[in-house]
Amino acid sequence: MTYSNRRSIRLKGYDYSSSGAYFITINIKNFYCYFGDVSEGVINLSESGKIIDRIWNEIPIRYANAFLDEYIIMPDHFHGIIWIDRACMGAGVDACTDACTDAIMKASTDAINRVRTGGIAGNKNPMLNPLSISNIIRWFKGRSSYEIRRLPDMESFSWHGRFYEHIIRDDKSLEKIRRYIINNPVNFF
């Protein structure tokens, strides 16, 4: 399947830089257990799992509009909650755009950001907004992949091509998702 034929799994017409909480799930390609193991309901992180932990916690430093909530690194996937605060967007856009670098090439992508057309989605493409959930996760996946592939025997590490998000709409849902994240190691088979 080519990228132009991929069906979007995002909510059509929704602005993924809108203020609110987002539940994120990212899987490792082919579900290999690279990030550690679970023993008696506790995750024991490998070196690559520790990299994931460090880079996830760099998100609020890189994106002034993003704040982290509960998260868990599992052997073959990751769950986390990211809060977006549009009130921070003025500072965040400048901070993000000025510092925007390709995670692998370490080259500025600022000029590219200004000339993009948005591809098939046109100006509705969430990747055009440097502070959207899609852009944040793209940076996280790229940066963590770069660091993990530098570890011995990890040259083939890869995330699944897509990630999954759920827009958290109320406090009841937020609390349910927090409990799910916290209890994920206990329920891991």
What's the chain's average pLDDT?
Answer: 79
**Does residue 27 contact residue 76 with C-beta atoms inside 8 Å?**
yes
Q: How confident is the model at residue 28 (pLDDT cuts 50, 70, 90)?
A: very high
pLDDT of residue 175: 98
Alpha carbon distance 117, 32 (integer Å): 36
In this structure, is residue 63 part of a structural domain? yes
Q: For the residues of 90-155, what is the DSSP string, one character each? A: HHHHHHHHHH-B-TTT--B-HHHHHH---GGGGGG-GGGSTTSHHHHHHHHHHHHHHHHTTSTT-T
Q: 171: domain range? A: 16-187
For position 114, which CATH number holds?
3.30.70.1290
User: What is the tens place of the pLDDT at every residue in 86-127?
Assistant: 776 544 434 433 333 232 233 333 433 433 455 555 545 555
- 80 forms beta bridges with 24, 71
Q: Is residue 3 part of a domain?
A: no
Domain count, the chain: 1
3-state secondary structure (DSSP) of residue 78: strand
Residue 61: per-residue pLDDT: 95
Residue among 100, 89, 98 nearest 64 (CA): 89
